[in-house]
Amino acid sequence: MKYFTLKINTLAWGLSFAFLSAMLSCGNKETINNAVTMETMSKKDVTLSVIHSRKSVRNFITGKTVPRETLDTIVRAGMAAASAVNLQPWQFIVIDDRTVMDSLAAGLPYAKMLAHASAAIVVCGDSTVKAGELAFWEFDCSLASGNILLAVEAMGLGAVWTAVHPDTVRISTVRTMLHLPDNIIPLNVIPIGYPAGNDKPKDKYKPDKIHWNSY
Amino acid sequence: MKYFTLKINTLAWGLSFAFLSAMLSCGNKETINNAVTMETMSKKDVTLSVIHSRKSVRNFITGKTVPRETLDTIVRAGMAAASAVNLQPWQFIVIDDRTVMDSLAAGLPYAKMLAHASAAIVVCGDSTVKAGELAFWEFDCSLASGNILLAVEAMGLGAVWTAVHPDTVRISTVRTMLHLPDNIIPLNVIPIGYPAGNDKPKDKYKPDKIHWNSY
């Protein structure tokens, strides 16, 4: 009995030692780096990894729905983009109706993957919104589209920018199908869905495109 | 002595219990969600937080250098942007020479903050690069600029898109100072530096800009 008590108490001490080691090892990282440094490092690493893993996804798993809440989160990311003179000249048509998806797929030769995507966002610019003489909607809407592409990637979904503007035929097709007024120009159609897995990111880093202090 | 042994053994058992509880609580999250789900959630949360905390930083802490390695990482993020027909019609002038920074600050009325920024990136497009009849450099270069703005934010730095194109006077000023050939159009000048802290992100979410399935 005494031997048993000794053994079981040794076990208890062993577990206590393990507990103290685990606590020390758990707190270790936060002791070495302060919280702000860790957060900044992690933000940088995660953001760069999302930027570099983003790819044009053209192959989707069919039949899976993307919830409206998710689509709203994605568009919300788009609206957070920089905008010249804060004019926010963008409008977003979000499509999750199968009939509209299929009509657009049929009408747009470069957006056939709409037939397999779960949803689509059409980023449009209001051409009447100007800062003085100059219109910046093409840049603002491109930035909003860029945020959309990155949010989609970060959420484990896939998307691809299919061009509409400045192709006048495609603009006319999209305008008719989505009932766009004349001042609302569709910049692109961005099909969104669950990636089938066969689209990969490209390494486009070319040091000769960087010029220090002069071209 | 026996009392002391009893007490110290009770302590050991208490610690053991704490150890087992800690282990169970530590492993809990990974048991509920698998590793992939956790990674995706974290990627999503971090990316959305960077997208929504990005702001136009116009006020910088003066005199602090941004290392060339950091600037290279930022431009590399720019080059990872989507590009129509993968044409990558972009060129990047990265400025960290105080004389060039000050000349640009003097020549560009809307980019006076260059005098206090640590560096700048001028994103340029090659207007001769086309997909058939259509030029997409404005959109591709906007997307590259968007990646740059987000990478900067994620790295704890600050930046702001100051417009050059389509203002012909500003284009001419930048062309002369940076020795750009005629086909290379400066889209913007993006001053980069350490934020002074007084620039805040704007909430631009407007649900009435979202249209479901039709305008």
Q: Is A15 on the interface with B (CB under 8 A)?
A: yes
**Are β-strands B188-195 and B162-163 bridged in parallel, bridged antiparallel, or unpaired?**
antiparallel
pTM of the model: 0.83
Are A164 and A93 a contacting pair, CB within 8 Å? no
Tokens linked to A31: 């002791």
Answer whether residue A104 shows pLDDT above 90.
yes
pLDDT tens digits, A158-183: 999 999 999 999 999 999 999 999 99
Residues in B touching A152 (Cβ below 8 Å): none
> CA separation (Å) from B175 to A133, A136, A189, B182?
22, 20, 34, 8
pLDDT tens digits, B54-63: 999 999 999 9
pLDDT given for residue A42 in this prediction = 85
What is chain A's length? 215
Q: Which residues contact A204 (CB under 8 A, 6 or more apart)?
A: B79, B80, B83, B86, B88
pLDDT given for residue A23 in this prediction = 46
Q: Is A2 on the interface with B (CB under 8 A)?
A: no
What residues of chain A, 23 to 82, have a C-beta less than 8 Å from chain B?
23, 26, 40, 42-44, 46-52, 54, 56, 72-73, 75-77, 79-82
pLDDT given for residue B86 in this prediction = 97
Angstrom distance (rounded) from CA B109 to CA B188:
13
Walk me through the domains of chain B, giving residue ranges and CATH numbers.
2-53 (no CATH), 60-195 (3.40.109.10)
pLDDT given for residue B8 in this prediction = 54
> CA separation (Å) from A186 to A18, A91, B103, B192, B203?
62, 9, 39, 32, 24
pLDDT tens digits, B46-89: 999 999 999 999 999 999 999 999 999 999 999 999 999 999 99
pLDDT tens digits, B153-179: 999 999 999 999 999 999 999 999 999
What residues of chain B, 82 to 141, have a C-beta less than 8 Å from chain A?
82-84, 86, 88, 90-97, 100, 124, 134, 136, 138-139
Q: Is B215 on the interface with A (CB under 8 A)?
A: yes
Residues in B touching A86 (Cβ below 8 Å): 202, 204
